[in-house]
Amino acid sequence: MSTLFLSHPAALDHQTPPGHPERPDRIRAIDRALEDERFAGLVREPAPLGTAAMAELAHPAAYVKAIEEVAPRDGMIAIDADTTMSPGTLEAVLRGVGAAVQAVDEVMTGRARNAFSAMRPPGHHAERTRAMGFCFFNNAAITARHAQKAHGAERVAIVDWDVHHGNGSQDIFWSDGSVMYCSTHQMPLYPGTGAVSERGDRDTIVNAPLRPGDGGDIFRAAFETAILPRLESFGPDLIVISAGFDAHWRDPLANLNLTEADFAWATQKLMALADTRCEGRIVSLLEGGYDLDGLSKSVAAHLSALMGA
């Protein structure tokens, strides 16, 4: 079965201030890497435009409306010190939402084995009622909720290997035992959450923080000892990956030393678990990753693994 790849040129139209690491060139670098013939087998579809109702799967209607209303017609507005909106931002955000929902529909109905959305801006820092850390709507949370509401998934696991802790995803599912949130991330680092002691009201938050300088061996050990056994016993009907690639050694925003091979390894581990637990169903969403070479090589390794190459 196939691997679905969703993206859209609108991802290039979310402008950020000069020098901002979360920039349109990230998507261009991924597009270039995927021109290689080993990706000829990807099923490529344009990310459809999502709706406010989809965003409301993870956020209150008033928050969704506020984001829509604050979006500028021209110029740029700052939501916080690192999070800005340009005239193209809202469409990019909504196509990120639409891609997540489309990916769930294709994977849950068996039309695709797994799926990857290469959209920006990312989503995992967006809390229920707060945009922050380059993020507006929490795509991973929307993905999990849509799988539950539209496809009857009982349990969904979100695995987040972005180098930053996904405070937004943790916030949204803190009291919800039907969605497990697992994260490896550098600590200390933005946004400051993600201690092992943060376990949620239902013990379904699993944080495995890493220290600055840690490399692939320590990442893999944390993944195998702290995360995979919890996923096994949880038994998800779908695995969502918050696939940030800023733990790559080249990344300018953090100090972990992962390589693209580590991301491929983690992908294969999750695929093996998904094969035994949920017919291989994985939806992966691009989060961070700010060195263009590290990002494009890591996405290529991740996609090669998802394709079974």
Contact residue for Zn ion among 123, 168, 288, 294 (CB under 5 A): 288
Interface of this chain with Zn ion, residues 76 to 105, rule: CB under 5 A:
none
Work out how close the CB of 244 gets to Zn ion at its nearest, in angstroms, rounded to a whole number. Answer: 4
Work out how close the CB of 24 gets to Zn ion at its nearest, in angstroms, rounded to a whole number. Answer: 17
Q: Is 294 in the site for Zn ion (CB under 5 A)?
A: no
Contact residue for Zn ion among 22, 162, 214, 251 (CB under 5 A): 162
Work out how close the CB of 49 gets to Zn ion at its nearest, in angstroms, rounded to a whole number. Answer: 25
Contact residue for Zn ion among 246, 251, 260, 262 (CB under 5 A): 246
Tokens 């920006």 -> residue: 120
Q: Is 291 in the site for Zn ion (CB under 5 A)?
A: no
**13-294-221-235 Cα dihedral, nearest 10 degrees:** 30
Of residues 103 and 256, the one with the C-beta less far from Zn ion: 256
Q: Is 168 in the site for Zn ion (CB under 5 A)?
A: no
Nearest-angstrom CA–CA distance, 305 and 42: 12
Of residues 210 and 273, the one with the C-beta less far from Zn ion: 210
Of residues 3 and 183, the one with the C-beta less far from Zn ion: 183
Is the backbone peptide bond immediately before 191 cis, with ω within 30 degrees of 0? yes
Nearest-angstrom CA–CA distance, 36 and 307: 14
Of residues 63 and 245, the one with the C-beta less far from Zn ion: 245
Nearest CA-CA partner of 306 in 222, 243, 257: 243
Rounded to 5 degrees, φ, ψ at 216 are -60, -40
Is residue 124 flagged as an active site residue?
no
Nearest-angstrom CA–CA distance, 157 and 180: 5
Q: Is 164 in the site for Zn ion (CB under 5 A)?
A: yes
Interface of this chain with Zn ion, residues 225 to 244, rule: CB under 5 A:
244
- List b or e across 241-274, with b for residues whose CB sees 16 or more CB atoms inside 10 angstroms: bbbbbbbbbbbebbebbbbbebbbbbbebbbebb
Number of other residues whose CB lies within 10 A of the CB of residue 228: 18
State the catalytic residue, choosing from 8, 14, 59, 125.
125
Of residues 88 and 244, the one with the C-beta less far from Zn ion: 244
Binding site for Zn ion (CB under 5 A): 162, 164, 244, 246, 288
Q: Which residues are catalytic?
A: 125
